[in-house]
Amino acid sequence: MLHLSRLFTRAVRLWWREFLFLLALNFIWLLAQATIVFGPPATASLVAVAGRVIDGELVDFSGFWRALRANFGVAWLWGLAQWIVYGVLGFNMIAYSGAASSGVLALRYAWTLLALAWFAINLYFWPLYFEQADRRFTITLGNAIKMALLNPSFTAFYALLALLLIAISVLSGLLLGAVLGMWLALWGTLVVRDLLLIARHE
């Protein structure tokens, strides 16, 4: 698991190389989340830019807007999936929050694990999407699930570290919120590329 931290360190170094542009891009991404409509496409575009930064390509705002337009439809399929899955799980947790039976307690644990599993799968989704030739939503989602199942302990640790980073970012406000999206995009792309490289050599 140590290479997770090395990949994160590399992600931060890559961010530093283009930090003024990526800082501005992260603020655009944050604003897009507030609009709801542009939230999912902006997330896809952020990962697209992250891939170009990693590859050492020239990055600018026009590339971000092109990726936003090109992936708008798939991004909204992904966004709807987030609303449905987290909405159903959240509703179940709230609806049964007052119940104290052992069966309901077991279900609450199961729903929490499902929410964590869905979060982990989505850490892989967009980086995989941009690495694939076939970029259909269902294909990408299936591959993200396979990646999570083939690397269970790695995925669990990665997801917990990402959740910790998000929690620290929320608590710190703009201090880390200004870089969170871009850091996660760079880190996620590096992680997925590393796992694909390992898989190709096995």
pLDDT digits (tens, 9 = 90+) for 128-187: 999 999 999 999 999 999 999 999 999 999 999 999 999 998 888 766 788 999 999 999
Q: CA-CA distance, 85 to 96, in Å (whole number)?
A: 17
For the cut 60, the answer to whether the pLDDT of residue 78 exceeds it is yes
The reported pLDDT for the residue numbered 101 is 73
**CB under 8 Å to 48, separation ≥6 — which residues?**
63, 64, 67, 71, 130
Q: What is the mean pLDDT of residues 24-45?
A: 94
Q: Where along the chain do its domains lie?
A: 2-200
Look at residues 13, 86, 89, 84 and name the one whose alpha carbon lies nearest to residue 53: 13
Q: CA-CA distance, 160 to 93, in Å (whole number)?
A: 21
Residue 185 near residue 50 (C-beta atoms within 8 A): yes
Q: CA-CA distance, 15 to 98, in Å (whole number)?
A: 45
